[in-house]
Structure 1
Amino acid sequence: MSEKTFQDRAVGAIMGAFIGESLGMGPHWYYDLAEMRRDYGDWIDGYTAPRPGRYHAGLKAGQLSQPGFILRMLLDSLVSCEGYDEVDFCRRLDQELLPLLDGTPVNGPGGYTSQSIRELWRQRLQRRQPWGRTGGHADTTEAIERTLALAVRYAREPAQLAAAVTSNTILTQVDETVVSMTVAYGAVLGLLVQGHSLDARLSGRLMQQVKSGALPFHAVTGDNLQPPRPGDPDPPRAGRFASPDALLTPSHMAAAAADPQIRIEPAWKVAIVYGMPCAIYHQLPAAYYLAARFRDDFEAAVLHAVNGGGQNQARAMLAGALVGAQVGLAGIPERFLDGLEETQTLCRLAETLASQANS
C-alpha cells in the first residue's frame, strides 16, 4: 500500500487525467508517425498547440478540449451535489454542452465532438428522446474519460462506484462490453486511489470484490482462477456483466511490463503493439501497460502515451489518471501543473472532490 495520503492520490488521479488530455490535444490523432515527427519533432515533451487544419485547431498549448470540458462538468456536479446526482449532471449536459453542438464532428467546445456525444446530441435535440434512451454504440473510451471522476469519488465504495459508472456510461454508450470495460477501469482506479499499485496482484483484489458481490461481474472460477469442482452450482449473478475478464486485463499488462523477457522499446511503441485506434479494446491495454511500467514516473507514462500517436489523447488521459493515483499530486512534475490552463481552479475542484470522498 502506498504511504501517500488518500487525498494526495485522489487529486493526483484527477489532475493526471486533465494533464494527459491537454498534452495529447496538440498532436492528437496522427496515424502517420512520420508526419507527427515532422510537425512536433522526435520527442514531444510538453504542451503543444494543434497545427492549422488539424483536430482542435485554434486552441492554445495547455488548454483542454472537449473530454476535459465534460470531465470538469461532471466534477462540478459531483462537488456541488456532494455525490453523483444524475439529474443534475444531465441538466448540465442539456444546458451547458448540447446547445454548443450541431451534430457534426468539427464543432463544439475544443473544436471536435466525438461519436458518442454527437449521437447524444441527435437523440436529445433532434429526436427529443428522454434521458435513458440516449446511448449509442460507440466502442470508444469517452465514458471512461468522464467517469474516472466517479471512480475517485467512490474509490472506497466499489458497489456504488460500479453502479454510478454504469448508470453514467449508458447515457452515451450502451454496448455491454464497453460498459463492462468502463466499469473495470473505474474499479482499477478506485483501488489505486486507495493505495494499491497496478501490479500482477491487483486483479486478484478485484476478483475478491466480485466474490463479495461488490462488483457486478459473473465468475465461475475459484480463488486464483482455479476451475470449478464437479457438482458446484452455477453461482448467482452478482450483476449485469457476463464475464470478469475486463478485471483481469490490468494485471496481465502489469505482468508483461515487469517481465524482463517482454520488452517494448521504446515504450511509446505500446501503441503499435496494442493498436493506435480509438476503440476501448486498443486503448485500455496500452494505458494499463504504461501505468504499470511507469507507476512511479508520471512524466514517462504520459509522454510515452502521447508520443505513440493515434488516439494519444485518450491514452494519455487514461494513463495519466492511473499513474497520478499512484504517485499522488506531489509526484506530478510542477511544469505540467504550471502549464495547464486554469490549473488552480481544477486543483481546487479535485481537492474538494477528494475531501468529500475521504469524509
Structure 2
Amino acid sequence: MTNTSTQERAAGAIMGAFIGDALALGPHWYYDLAELRRDYGEWITTYTDPKPGRYHSGRKAGQLSQAGIILTLTLQSLVEHCGYDEADFCRRMDEELFPFLDGTPMSGPGGYTSQSIRHAWRCRVEQKLPWGKTGGHADTTEAIERTLALAVRYAFQPAELATLVARNTRLTQSDDTVISMTVAYAAVLGMLIRGHALDKTLSGKLMELVKSGKLPFHAVTFADLQPPRPGDPDPPRAGRFASPDALLTPSYMAEAAADADICIEPAWKVSIVYGMPCAIYHQLPAAYYLAARFRNDFESAVLHAVNGGGQNQARAILTGALVGAQVGFSGIPKRFLDGLEDQDKLKSLATALASQVNGGTDTNN
C-alpha cells in the first residue's frame, strides 16, 4: 500500500465511490457487451451521457445517480452530527428523497430508483410504517453504497462500525446474508482506511476481530481455519451472523489477483467470471478482485469495473472506494475529479468526514 495518511485514505475512499458512480452513469446496465461497445466504443475512459430511453436518461456526464445522491445525504448527516444519527438519516430520506419518488423504477433523483429504496418508500409513504419496518428482500449492494461512509467514519472502531452498518442496512434490506456481506465489506474498507493491505493476510486479521468479539460473526475454527478442539463449547450465536465466510472472500480474491496461474484477461472480464447481475454475491468478488489487482492504480481499477458491463455502477462504486482507500485522495487522477459535477461540494464532504476519523496509527486489532 502507498504511504498515505488516514485522512488521505478516508477522503480517497469517499471520492473513489463518487467517481465510480458517475463513471457508470451513462453505460449502466448493458448486459449485451456488443451493444455497450456500439454505444460507447471499445473502451470507456471518462464520464458519459446516458443514451435516450435508457437508465438515468436525461442525466449528464459527470453527474451522480441516486446511489451517489443517497451517499451524499449520508455524508451530510455524518458530518453535521459528528457521527451516525439514525433519526437524522431517516429524516433526510423522508424529507429530501422520498417526496421526489413515485414508487416506480424509472423516476426520482438520479433517473432511477432501486428496488430496496422503492420498497422503503412504499412502506413509509403509502403504508405509513415506521422506520425499522421498512426493510425488504433485495439481495443487492444498495446498502453498501451508502454505508461505506460509515465504514470510513468508524474504521478504527470495528465493533461500532459493524453495529451501525447493520442497523442502517436493516432500514432497507432485511435479509441476514445480505446484511452480513454488507458488514463484511464495511469491515474490509475500514481495514484499508487503517492502512492494511488488501492481500491474502487481510481475512486473517478480520478473523482476529471476530475472535476478540469486535465483529459479530459466528466462528468455531481457530487460526488458518483449523478445527475446534474436542470438548470446546459452541460459541454463543446470539447477535452474530451465522458464518464468517463473507470475511474470507477478500483474501481469496486477492490471492487470485496475485496468482500468475489464474488469468482473467483483460481484467474487465471479471464481470463475466463472477457475474454481471446486481446481486451482492456477484458484485463483491469482482470488486475485491479489481481492488486487489489494481491496488495502486485507481484509473485501471474503476475503468475495468465500468467496462465490464452489467451492474457496472455498483461494481465501480465498490471498487472505487476500495482502491481510493489504498491510493489516497492524492492518488486519484485529477481528470476524474475535474469532470465530476459539484466536485467542490463532494470534496468538502469527503475531507470533513475524513477529519472525523479517529485514529492514525493502526494497532492491528
TM-score band, normalised by the shorter chain?
Answer: over 0.9
What is residue 41 of structure 2 aligned with on the other side?
Answer: 41
CA-CA distance at 1:232 after TM superposition: 1.3
Match of 2:362 in 1: none
Instruction: Determine if contact 2:139/2:175 at 8 Å carries over to the other structure.
Output: yes
1:264 matched to 2:264? The reply is yes
The residue aligned with 1:53 is 53
Could you report, residue by residue, the CA deviation over 1:35-56 in whole angstroms, capped at 9, with x for unpaired residues? 0000000000110010001100
Equivalent residue runs for 1:144-183 within 5 Å: 144-183=144-183
2:313 is matched with which residue? 313
Aligned residue type for 1:64: L
Q: CA deviation at 1:195?
A: 0.6
Letter in 1 for 2:100: L
Cα distance, 1:162 vs structure 2: 0.3
1:85 and 1:295 map into 2 onto residues whose CA distance is: 32
Aligned-pair CA distance for 1:236: 2.4
C-alpha offsets along residues 115-151 of structure 1, whole Å, 9 cap, x if unaligned? 0000001000111100110000000000000000000
Q: Which amino acid aligns with 1:127?
A: Q
Are 2:48 and 2:61, in contact at CA under 8 Å, matched by a contact in 1? Answer: yes
Counterparts of residues 320-359 of structure 1 (less than 5 Å): 320-358=320-358
Count, aligned residues? 359
TM superposition shift of 1:358? 3.3
Q: Normalized against structure 2, the TM-score is what? A: 0.97
Say yes or no: does 1:70 pair with 2:70: yes
Equivalence map 1:195-274=2 (5 Å):
195-237=195-237, 239-274=239-274
State the Cα RMSD in Å: 0.9
Q: Distance in 2 between matches of 1:6 and 1:357?
A: 8
CA distance in 1, matches of 2:183, 2:255: 21
On the 8 A contact 1:216/1:238 being kept in 2, the answer is: no
SS at match of 1:110: coil
For residues 2 and 229 of structure 1, what CA distance do their matches in structure 2 show? 40
- Tell whether the 8 Å contact from 2:123 to 2:129 is kept in structure 1 after alignment: yes
Partner SS, residue 105 of structure 1: coil
1:270-309 aligned at under 5 Å gives the runs 270-309=270-309
Matched residue, 2:363: none
- Scaled by the length of structure 1, the TM-score of the pair is 0.99
Runs of 4+ in 1 over 6 A off after TM superposition: none
Deviation at 1:212, TM superposition (A): 0.5
Q: Deviation per CA, 1:235-264: give whole Å up to 9, x if none.
A: 223732010000000000000000000010
Q: Do 1:294 and 1:323's aligned partners in 2 also have CA atoms closer than 8 Å?
A: yes
What residue ranges of structure 1 are gaps of 5+ in the alignment? none
CA distance in 1, matches of 2:235, 2:120: 37
For residue 142 of structure 1, give the secondary structure of its aligned residue in structure 2. coil
- Report % sequence identity: 74
The answer to whether structure 1 residue 90 and structure 2 residue 105 are counterparts is no
